[in-house]
């Protein structure tokens, strides 16, 4: 089942980052998460191992799939890669914004043909990169300025959404046209382990900052009861949406 994204939707959805060692572990977690889990992010680790069949199986169970392949190549190769995904029941797909305007425009056009109900998302600067790492690549902008620059480039090329840190939401939503979808990792429910994430927000904070989708991995994957963790996050989101912070 392929579901179109509602650009105007107000509620913030939880996406499970399904970064696990085996398909059987993935299936155990999905089972334990139950019906509260509506969205699953499949990254390279899982897609390269379990392939399109797994994506189809999850979609046939009613899950919405965010395929996080982070494509980055010459325009023709990126567009042809998207054509190869044409029959997959996915709702979101990532490319790297730093592939450039021509590639992003080709990808946006190809998405409309091959995956008309899915949203193309651009990844800007990876959160593993700091100013020094960028400078070594010859990028003298601060990470924040580079994120804004790449996000503008992507949306001007027709890309529908941006993957960003929740800390970047306020500056990006000012800089970009309305209707852009914001998908944010770096989310930690209050009291949970940060792992290697350094700049985090709680689900309610990120939602109030403008996130449409929250990508959450380890706080759910490592929980004794994933169902309860997701339900707790959804309750936190629902109450924050009813009583916005001033």
User: What is the binding site for ligand C5P (CB under 6 A)?
Assistant: 17, 19, 43, 126-127, 163, 185-186, 195, 197, 215-218
* CB-facing half-sphere around the CA of 213: CA atoms within 13 A: 29
Output 3 or 129, the one with its CB closest to ligand C5P. Answer: 129
Min separation Cβ 2 and ligand C5P, Å: 22
For 115-151, b/e burial (b = at least 16 CB within 10 A) is beebbbbbbbbebeeeeeebeeeebeeebeebbbbbb
Closer CB to ligand C5P, 45 or 109, in the complex: 45
Rounded (10°) CA dihedral 186, 160, 33, 36: 110
Give me the least distance between CB of 88 and ligand C5P, in Å please. 19
Look at phi and psi of residue 4 and say left if phi exceeds 0, alpha if psi is from -120 to 50, else beta.
beta
Nearest residue to ligand C5P by CB is: 217
Residues with catalytic function: 70
Tell me the closest approach of the beta carbon of residue 128 to ligand C5P, in angstroms.
Answer: 7
Nearer to ligand C5P, 153 or 163 (CB): 163
Work out how close the CB of 69 gets to ligand C5P at its nearest, in angstroms, rounded to a whole number: 12
User: Do 72 and 99 form a contact (C-beta atoms < 8 A)?
Assistant: yes
Considering the complex, state which of residue 114 and residue 203 has its C-beta at the smaller distance from ligand C5P.
203
């Amino acid at each position: 089942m392929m579901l179109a994204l509602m650009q105007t939707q107000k509620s913030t959805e939880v996406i499970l980052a399904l970064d696990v060692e085996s398909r059987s572990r993935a299936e155990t977690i999905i089972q334990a998460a139950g019906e509260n889990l509506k969205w699953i992010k499949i990254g390279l680790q899982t897609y390269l191992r379990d392939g399109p069949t797994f994506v189809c199986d999850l979609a046939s169970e009613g899950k919405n799939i965010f395929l996080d392949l982070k494509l980055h190549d010459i325009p023709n190769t990126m567009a042809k890669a998207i054509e190869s995904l044409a029959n997959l029941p996915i709702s979101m797909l990532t490319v790297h914004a730093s592939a450039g305007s021509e590639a992003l425009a080709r990808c946006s056009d190809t998405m409309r043909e091959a995956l008309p109900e899915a949203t193309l998302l651009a990844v800007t600067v990876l959160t593993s990169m700091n100013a020094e790492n960028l400078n070594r690549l010859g990028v003298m902008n601060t990470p924040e300025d580079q994120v804004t620059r790449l996000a503008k480039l992507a949306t001007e090329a027709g890309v529908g959404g941006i993957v960003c840190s929740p800390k970047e939401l306020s500056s990006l939503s000012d800089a970009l046209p309305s209707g852009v979808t914001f998908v944010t990792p770096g989310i930690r429910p209050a009291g949970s382990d940060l792992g290697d994430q350094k700049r985090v927000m709680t689900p309610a904070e990120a939602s109030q900052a403008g996130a449409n989708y929250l990508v959450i991995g380890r706080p759910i994957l490592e929980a004794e009861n994933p169902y309860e963790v997701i339900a707790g996050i959804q309750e936190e989101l629902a109450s924050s949406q009813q009583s916005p912070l001033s």
